[in-house]
A and B are shown apart, each in its own frame.
Chain A
Amino acid sequence: MRAADALVKAMEKQGVDYVFGIPGGANMPFYDALKDSEIRSVLMRHEQQAAHAAEGYARVKRRPGVCSGTSGPGATNLITGLVDAYMDSTPVVAITGQVVRAFMGTDAFQEADIVGLVLPHIKYAVTVKDSRRVVQEFVNAYSVAMNLRPGPTLIDLPRDVQIEEVPNQIDVKPEPQFAKPLPEPDIESIKQAARIIVESEKPVILVGGGAVYSMAGREILELAEHIAAPIVETTMGKGAVPEDHPLVLGVVGMHGRVEADLAVIESDLVVCIGTRLSDRAIGPAKDFQKGRKIIHIDIDASEFGKNVRPTVSLPGDARKVLAELVEYTKHLVAKRPESMLAKKLREIGQAYDEYMMSMDDGKVLHSWKVVSLLTDALPPDTIVTTGVGQHQMWAQLFWKNRAPGTWLSSGGLGTMGFGLPAAFGAKAAAPDRVVVNLDGDGSFLMTCQTLACVADYELPVITVIFDNRSLGMVKQWQDMFYNKRYKDVEYNDRTDLVKLSEAFGVEAVRVESYDELLKVVTRAARSNTALTVDVPVDAGELVFPMVPPGKWLEDVKLPPGFDISQRIVSAGKIS
């Protein structure tokens, strides 16, 4: 059989059921082999969207999403999605076509060194020049995408390699370098960490994306409840634990919940779980480290000390490490009563919610209220995706995730346009669940052609566009840091988003009230139909809280007029 046929058979054996991509000259043999396969290939409208769809699929299905593009531009168009997957530790396997071996290095038509281009941002990439290695390299790439810290991989197949005859290859296993065992928890370090936890008076647990991937929610709650510690999340950690739990204070950082930021400010210990501790989440590392101990749990040892020097580092899978840590902590200390700090912080959070709702004068639609109403109206296992910008921040502030893997956002790279294709991939992975893409008009316009796939493949996604006719977050920065000198951030009104969606075959409506919004969205959710909702939100909205870039969490800017000085835990800590 051809190497391409052997590859597709190996993919079937691994359980691949979707390939998101676009055929072209150099990956045609691969597509020809797919023609005789049960694998569903989805004809995307741009390869970037194929990569994001694979990400959405992977994060819901908890196994690699597969995407494909031809050589040259087909491959280079995948790059944004692959870098996004790398930053957010998402397992994606990209299969690219390459020009025939004899033409490689000659600047042939549609030739690009895709392996060289993606190398800084990929776990593994290889051009397979020996047809007998095609299956082995795919199995390796598929395995290593999930092994230890997940991430993207790429196999690049010259067209002539794909059509060479190879023997049937059955039961191919990954080579040892591509399937390393999980490190066992280091018991001595865990004992040390347990002692630090017991000594701390105001511990806080910070959960990141690694906690989601490891499904460590139960162990995190067990630890938090035992030591009465509030839980805060990074953008990627949202959903690791149910956000309606009383100890869960929400997202921390630049656009975090005020009560979450305060929890970290007040803490004397932060137990960091599966997070790379980016500046966006914790502000400057020197301030984060000052006056508090840090326990850092991560599958990737290179994260220890990269940004923050931990007091104790615990390498390993978050769930396994936490299970041990909980046991040792329970041996050392009895269950603590509910902390007054956590109670006060929750009250501050409620005060923020109430204040924001009081700002609704009924004249314009407000983003935070849209998110808040939708999170209450939709089923608890709804999968929500976002674009990038102000709407994403409103979503992370007000959307309550109640199950892991229900929050898909571009946390690391911050890729506008992520939301719709990721939602499409998520719907392919979970066709029986409601999938809602909360998008900005700027983000939506970057990848809106995915609507064609939503219609073609009958994978109905609901898109809610927070339409402020601008690049809202950039405008907010120009407002706050560039003396309101707005430049290239405002759109005209000519692009009719309703007509645009309808042109792709997806029903669309522009709503004028919250009631109308809820009516159309809940109807689409109940009937499992695709819908695009254009929501004209207040174009002057600024997202608060906001910690200015480079500043510590104490410097958070609260919504103008929101005074919590009487309720704040430590007076004078917030401006």
Chain B
Amino acid sequence: MMRFVVFVELVNSHDAVAKMLLAVKQGNLGIESINIHSTEDGRNLSAILLLHGEENKAEWLVNKLLNFPYYRSAKILKQV
């Protein structure tokens, strides 16, 4: 079991936020905290997710999100 910090830039829509959390659910990742803020005059959002789960799941989550047009970038900031 590992802890990850993941940074995601996404469009400002309920659907984008919901789908991100559904992906967290699909990856069976536990949520420790999620912070979401609007950026660029409210057109986009940035999210910082502190999650825990299996070793390879953070990379899976990042790659998974990048399949969908809602997400402009996604990266792992830290893994411990």
Chain A residues proximal to chain B, CB less than 8 Å: 115-116, 119-120, 123-126, 140, 144, 148-149, 175, 177-178, 300-302, 304-306, 309
B26 interfacial by beta-carbon distance below 8 Å: yes
Question: Known: A306-B60, A309-B56. Is A148-B67 also a contact (CB below 8 A)?
Answer: yes
> At the interface, is chain A mostly helix, strand, loop or mixed?
mixed
> At the interface, is chain B mostly helix, strand, loop or mixed?
helix
Q: Which of B1-20 contact A (CB under 8 A)?
A: 13, 15, 18-19
Q: Roughly how many angstroms separate A123 CA and B67 CA in the complex, as a whole number?
A: 8
Which B residues lie within 8 Å of A115 (CB)?
15
Which B residues lie within 8 Å of A124 (CB)?
68-70
- Interchain Cβ contacts within 8 Å, total number: 45
Question: Known: A177-B72, A305-B60, A306-B60. Is A119-B15 also a contact (CB below 8 A)?
Answer: yes
User: Would B19 and A126 count as touching, CB distance under 8 A?
Assistant: no
Q: Roughly how many angstroms separate A243 CA and B41 CA in the complex, as a whole number?
A: 56
**Count of chain B residues with a beta carbon within 8 Å of a chain A beta carbon:** 19
User: Would B56 and A302 count as touching, CB distance under 8 A?
Assistant: no
Q: Which of B25-75 contact A (CB under 8 A)?
A: 25-26, 56, 59-61, 63-64, 66-70, 72
Question: Known: A177-B72, A306-B60. Is A126-B67 also a contact (CB below 8 A)?
Answer: no
B22 interfacial by beta-carbon distance below 8 Å: yes
Q: Roughly how many angstroms separate A140 CA and B22 CA in the complex, as a whole number?
A: 22
Q: Roughly how many angstroms separate A304 CA and B60 CA in the complex, as a whole number?
A: 8
**A119 partner, pick from B22, B56, B64, beta carbons under 8 A:** B22
Q: Roughly how many angstroms separate A198 CA and B55 CA in the complex, as a whole number?
A: 31
Which B residues lie within 8 Å of A119 (CB)?
15, 18-19, 22
User: Would A123 and B60 count as touching, CB distance under 8 A?
Assistant: no
Most buried by B among A144, A177, A302: A302
**B22 partner, pick from A120, A144, A175, beta carbons under 8 A:** A120
User: Would B18 and A116 count as touching, CB distance under 8 A?
Assistant: yes
User: Would A300 and B59 count as touching, CB distance under 8 A?
Assistant: no
User: Would B15 and A123 count as touching, CB distance under 8 A?
Assistant: no
22 CB contacts below 8 A, A to B, read A116-B15, A119-B15, A119-B18, A119-B19, A120-B19, A123-B68, A123-B69, A124-B68, A124-B69, A126-B13, A140-B69, A144-B69, A149-B67, A177-B72, A300-B67, A301-B63, A301-B66, A302-B63, A302-B66, A302-B67, A305-B56, A306-B56
Query: In the complex, which residue of chain B has the Cβ closest to the Cβ of A148?
Result: B67
Min CB–CB distance B62 → chain A (angstroms)? 8
User: Would B15 and A300 count as touching, CB distance under 8 A?
Assistant: no
Q: Roughly how many angstroms separate A301 CA and B67 CA in the complex, as a whole number?
A: 9
Min CB–CB distance A208 → chain B (angstroms)? 17
6 more contacts with CB within 8 A, not counting A144-B69, A302-B63, A305-B56, are A120-B25, A123-B68, A124-B68, A124-B69, A149-B67, A302-B61
